[in-house]
């Protein structure tokens, strides 16, 4: 899979400029937070907790936007909307998509910081 | 990196990566950053760090951003703390919640550093403006308190000066704001020793302390001169010259003054710059208009000032109204002025003198209705009443009892050293002015005394020939010679003898002036007054026009004049 789809390269280059030496800290922080959020999302689905689903997806959406991951951002937006409408039937499918997309974003980001 | 004024900015976001990013953006722009990861921590950090601006995430654990914003806005009081909500919320409802909680702006994720910079700069400008505004407001509050304090002091002083008044008597009705003196309005009333009631309504130009300052000498002069029994003309002269002296150009006092004579049933009126005064006649419910015939007080120099008064008959129950222009300019909510025509209508339609004042007040108040009541609505009505009734009601008889020294005589010799250096007239006049009955004739008494004294000195003691003064050259010579003779004077005297007998309604003053000069043949004096040595020109006719009698005695070096006053001023009857 090409990184170009998972990460917005133009925006990412601005982000590197802003963060300078702290760019790798930003990336690892994002990855660590995201792992926690994925686990929260899984719990929310298992427990049918729409509020937790909505709030976690909302935060995840915001952070994904900031890290220049547009596909992940829009998938999280879908999840947030589902939680908001309390329609949890289609959630597991989307959750799987989110997990898959995160894996791609994560490896793309890690390659950027030389991991 | 741009150079900016560094601010302290609080970033509150529970997402570690987002907080990290935002912190980097804000620090790159040169600001100091403090952080919080939830609502409670936000409040702690706010309290501790006192940041200038808060960037606040809406959804956070422990306490969300809405509640944190509300609390911080409540805690900040009148200080302005801009709160920018960080949000990827897109629904209008949620954004409205941010505003309700006290948010001032939004920043949406993903963050854009250019937009954030613009917002921070905008709020920094607002902060500065707010700060300036607060400082200026505080300064205004301080200034205002100071001003009010000064006005209170000034008012206390003024009230003391004006307290001698008799505005409370039953036949005076008036409407005057308690702080009228700061609108330049002054109302004074006094009972003279003669029992006449003097009333003065003044309206100084301008407002505030500047308008009030002239009221002090005005009131002081009015009360002290009335208490001493001076007439209205003398009082007006004195007030005018005092105000002319002390007030800056452009500040003057429109005034109306009246002397109400309860015994003679007359009123003496002077109006300088006030709107027309109205004299309301109870007998036929008509009214007479007394327009302003003079310039206001404090405009003209004493020699140009005219204190010409108008004397009118007033029967019991008749009343005289004076007002400042406030009544004519009283404005209703539509911006219309009450005007002279409405004023006249009140007088034309009214059928009873007794309720006229209340009626007038009521009409003006209902006219201005909901609009801000003008503070400078000053009106006074003075009603002619029975003298005895007035005295009984107001227990003013003690004012009448002081008639000054009533039966006395004195002799005053002035010898060379004194003649050279000293003018004895003020001392003598002061003795005479202790008699209330003479005070209202102070001008005439002064003329008589100075005429007698200068004749005794020039033509008696110094033996100067007044005919010298008929040419310009002679005039100068006359004064050179006068100065020379006075300087060389070794012997000679002037003896002034005064004798006074009187009571509360009339009195007789006899003044004899004797000098050491050679005199003249007094048998000539009845033939042609004008040729008499010593009293050439206007001297003798002037004395004769003022005094009841003028008589030469002895060797022509002694002259005796008699001056009689009586309550009704017709001295010449004696």
- Which range of B52-61, B150-159, B191-200 scores highest in mean pLDDT? It is B52-61
Residues B235, B225 contacting (CB under 8 angstroms): yes
CA separation for the pair B401, B102 (Å, rounded): 77
Q: Is B319 helix (H, G, I), strand (E, B) or coil?
A: strand
Closest chain B CA to residue A21: B24
Yes or no, beta carbons of A66 and B17 under 8 Å apart: yes
C-alpha to C-alpha distances, B123 to B5, B77, B81, B102, B117, nearest whole angstrom:
12, 18, 9, 15, 10
Residues 6+ apart with CB under 8 A from B195: B262, B263, B387, B391, B396, B399, B400
Yes or no, beta carbons of A65 and B113 under 8 Å apart: no
* Nearest residue, CB atoms, A67 vs list B17, B88, B113: B17
Residue B398 has pLDDT above 50, yes or no: no
ipTM: 0.91
Closest chain A CA to residue B59: A55
pLDDT (tens digit per residue) in B373-384:
555 788 999 999
pLDDT (tens digit per residue) in B103-127:
999 898 888 889 999 999 999 999 9
Yes or no, beta carbons of B109 and A66 under 8 Å apart: yes
Q: The tokens 């000069």 sit on which residue?
A: B517
CA separation for the pair A37, A59 (Å, rounded): 9
Q: Rounded to the nearest 5°, which phi and psi values hold at B237?
A: -55, -50
Residues 6+ apart with CB under 8 A from B230: B238, B439, B440, B442
Yes or no, beta carbons of A58 and B88 under 8 Å apart: yes
Q: Domains of chain B by range and CATH?
A: 8-133 (3.40.50.2300), 164-399 (3.60.40.10), 403-573 (3.30.565.10)
| Angstroms from B17 CA to nearest CA on chain A | 5
pLDDT for the residue B71 = 94
Mean of pLDDT over chain A: 88
Higher pLDDT residue, B523 or B183? B183
pLDDT for the residue B393 = 66
Residues A17, A11 contacting (CB under 8 angstroms): no
Residue B87 has pLDDT above 90, yes or no: no
Residue B538 has pLDDT above 60, yes or no: no
Yes or no, beta carbons of B18 and A63 under 8 Å apart: yes
Q: What is the mean pLDDT of residues B484-491?
A: 90
**Residue B110 forms contact with A (CB below 8 Å):** yes
Q: A-chain residues within 8 Å CB-CB of B16?
A: 29, 32-33
pLDDT for the residue B397 = 42
Q: B-chain residues within 8 Å CB-CB of A11?
A: 110
pLDDT for the residue B572 = 37
Q: At what angle do helices B215-227 and B113-162 cross, to 10 degrees?
A: 10
Mean of pLDDT over chain B: 85
Yes or no, beta carbons of A19 and B21 under 8 Å apart: yes
Residue B571 has pLDDT above 50, yes or no: no
Q: Sorting pLDDT into bands at 50, 70 and 90, what band is A34? A: very high
Q: In this structure, are strands B266-272 and B310-313 parallel, antiparallel, or unpaired? A: antiparallel
Q: Among residues of chain B, what percentage have pLDDT more than 70?
A: 90
Residue B531 has pLDDT above 60, yes or no: no
CA separation for the pair B208, B424 (Å, rounded): 44
CA separation for the pair B472, B459 (Å, rounded): 19
Helices (H) and strands (E) in chain B, counts: 18, 20
Interface A:B, Cβ pairs < 8 A? 57
Count Cβ atoms within 10 A of the Cβ of residue B168 and give its class: 0-12 exposed, 13-18 middle, 19 or more buried.
Answer: exposed
Yes or no, beta carbons of B20 and A22 under 8 Å apart: yes
Lowest mean pLDDT among B11-15, B190-194, B334-338, B367-371: B367-371
B interface test, pick of A14, A16, A51, A63 with most B CB neighbours within 10 Å:
A63
Higher pLDDT residue, B402 or B236? B236
Q: Is B266 helix (H, G, I), strand (E, B) or coil?
A: strand
Query: What angle (nearest 5°) sits at the alpha carbon of residue A108, between those of residues A106 and A113?
Result: 90
C-alpha to C-alpha distances, B245 to B150, B236, B297, B426, nearest whole angstrom:
24, 14, 11, 22
CA separation for the pair B460, B534 (Å, rounded): 8
CA separation for the pair B407, A71 (Å, rounded): 122
pLDDT for the residue B375 = 58
pLDDT (tens digit per residue) in B429-468:
888 888 877 877 877 888 899 889 988 998 889 988 877 8
Instruction: Encode B363-372: b = buried (16+ Cβ within 10 Å), e = exposed.
Output: bbeebbeeee
Closest chain A CA to residue B64: A55
Q: Is B433 helix (H, G, I), strand (E, B) or coil?
A: coil
pLDDT for the residue B530 = 41
| Angstroms from A92 CA to nearest CA on chain B | 23
pLDDT for the residue B327 = 86
| Sequence-ordered alpha helix ranges (H) in B187-231 | 208-213, 215-227
pLDDT (tens digit per residue) in B286-319:
899 999 999 999 999 988 998 888 999 999 999 9
Q: Sorting pLDDT into bands at 50, 70 and 90, what band is B8? A: very high
Q: A-chain residues within 8 Å CB-CB of B33?
A: none
Closest of B521, B544, B516 to residue B531, by C-alpha: B521
Q: Domains of chain A by range and CATH?
A: 3-112 (1.20.120.160)
Q: Sorting pLDDT into bands at 50, 70 and 90, what band is B33? A: very high
DSSP B182: G
Chain-centre distance for alpha carbon B80:
45
Lowest mean pLDDT among A86-90, B316-320, B508-512: A86-90
Closest chain A CA to residue B24: A19
* Nearest residue, CB atoms, A66 vs list B21, B59, B89: B21
Beta bridge partners of B106: B85
Q: B-chain residues within 8 Å CB-CB of A15?
A: 21
Closest chain B CA to residue A8: B110
Yes or no, beta carbons of B88 and A68 under 8 Å apart: no
Yes or no, beta carbons of B24 and A22 under 8 Å apart: yes
CA separation for the pair B332, B418 (Å, rounded): 69
Q: Rounded to the nearest 5°, which phi and psi values hold at A7?
A: -125, 140
CA separation for the pair B171, B381 (Å, rounded): 8
Residue B260 has pLDDT above 50, yes or no: yes
Residues B214, B246 contacting (CB under 8 angstroms): yes
User: Omega before B571 cis (within 30°)?
Assistant: no
pLDDT (tens digit per residue) in B209-223:
778 888 888 998 998
DSSP B16: H
Beta strands of B67-151 (E only): which ranges? 83-87, 105-108
pLDDT for the residue B560 = 93
Yes or no, beta carbons of B110 and A59 under 8 Å apart: no
């Amino acid at each position: 899979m090409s990184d170009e789809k998972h990460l917005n390269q133009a925006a990412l280059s601005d982000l590197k400029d802003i963060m300078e030496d702290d760019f790798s800290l930003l990336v690892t922080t994002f990855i660590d937070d995201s792992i926690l959020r994925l686990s929260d999302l899984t719990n929310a689905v298992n427990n049918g907790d729409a509020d937790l689903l909505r709030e976690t997806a909302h935060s995840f959406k915001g952070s994904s936007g900031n890290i220049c991951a547009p596909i992940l951002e829009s998938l999280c937006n879908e999840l947030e909307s589902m939680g908001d409408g309390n329609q949890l039937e289609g959630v597991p499918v989307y959750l799987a998509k989110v997990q898959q997309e995160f894996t791609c974003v994560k490896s793309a980001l890690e390659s950027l910081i030389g991991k | 990196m741009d150079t900016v004024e560094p601010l302290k900015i609080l970033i509150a976001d529970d997402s570690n990566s987002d907080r990290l990013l935002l912190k980097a953006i804000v620090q790159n722009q040169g600001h100091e950053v403090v952080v919080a990861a939830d609502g409670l921590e936000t409040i702690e950090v706010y309290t501790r760090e006192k940041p200038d601006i808060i960037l606040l995430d809406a959804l956070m654990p422990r306490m969300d951003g809405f509640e944190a914003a509300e609390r911080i806005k409540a805690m900040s009081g009148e200080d302005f703390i801009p709160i920018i909500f960080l949000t990827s919320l897109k629904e209008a409802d949620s954004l409205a919640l941010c505003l309700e909680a006290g948010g001032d702006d939004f920043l949406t994720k993903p963050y854009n550093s250019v937009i954030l910079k613009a917002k921070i700069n905008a709020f920094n400008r607002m902060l500065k403006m707010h700060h300036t505004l607060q400082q200026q407001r505080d300064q205004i509050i301080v200034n205002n308190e100071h001003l009010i304090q000064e006005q209170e002091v000034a008012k206390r002083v003024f009230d003391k000066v004006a307290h001698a008044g008799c505005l409370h008597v039953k036949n005076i009705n008036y409407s005057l704001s308690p702080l009228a003196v700061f609108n330049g309005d002054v109302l004074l009333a006094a009972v003279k020793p003669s029992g006449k009631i003097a009333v003065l309504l003044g309206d100084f130009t301008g407002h505030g302390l500047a308008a009030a300052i002239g009221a002090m000498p005005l009131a002081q002069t009015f009360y002290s001169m009335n208490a001493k029994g001076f007439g209205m003309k003398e009082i007006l002269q004195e007030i005018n010259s005092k105000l002319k002296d002390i007030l800056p150009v452009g500040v003057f006092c429109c005034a109306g003054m009246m002397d109400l004579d309860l015994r003679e049933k007359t009123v003496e009126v002077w109006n300088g710059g006030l709107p027309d005064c109205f004299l309301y006649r109870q007998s036929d419910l008509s009214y007479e208009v007394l327009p302003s015939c003079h310039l206001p007080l404090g405009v003209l120099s004493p020699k140009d000032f005219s204190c010409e008064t108008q004397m009118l008959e007033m029967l019991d129950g008749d009343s005289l109204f004076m007002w400042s222009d406030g009544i004519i300019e009283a404005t209703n909510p539509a911006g219309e002025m009450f005007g002279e025509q409405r004023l006249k209508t009140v007088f034309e339609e009214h059928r009873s003198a007794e309720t006229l004042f209340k009626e007038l007040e009521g009409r003006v108040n209902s006219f201005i209705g909901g609009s801000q009541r003008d503070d400078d609505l000053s009106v006074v009505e003075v009603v002619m009443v029975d003298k005895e009734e007035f005295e009984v009601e107001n227990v003013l008889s003690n004012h009448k009892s002081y008639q000054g020294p009533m039966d006395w005589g004195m002799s005053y010799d002035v010898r060379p050293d004194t003649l050279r250096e000293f003018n004895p007239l003020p001392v003598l006049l002061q003795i005479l002015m202790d008699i209330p009955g003479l005070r209202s004739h102070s001008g005439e008494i002064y003329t008589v005394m100075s005429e007698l004294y200068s004749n005794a000195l020039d033509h008696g003691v110094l033996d100067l020939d007044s005919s010298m003064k008929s040419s310009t050259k002679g005039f100068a010579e006359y004064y050179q010679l006068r100065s020379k003779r006075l300087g060389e004077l070794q012997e000679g005297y002037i003896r002034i003898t005064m004798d006074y007998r009187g009571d509360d309604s009339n009195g007789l003053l006899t003044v004899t002036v004797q000098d050491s000069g050679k005199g003249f043949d007094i048998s000539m004096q009845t033939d042609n007054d004008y040729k008499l040595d010593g009293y050439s020109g206007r001297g003798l006719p002037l004395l004769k026009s003022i005094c009841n009698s003028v008589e030469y005695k002895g060797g022509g070096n002694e002259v005796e004049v008699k001056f009689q006053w009586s309550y009704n001023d017709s001295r010449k009857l004696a």
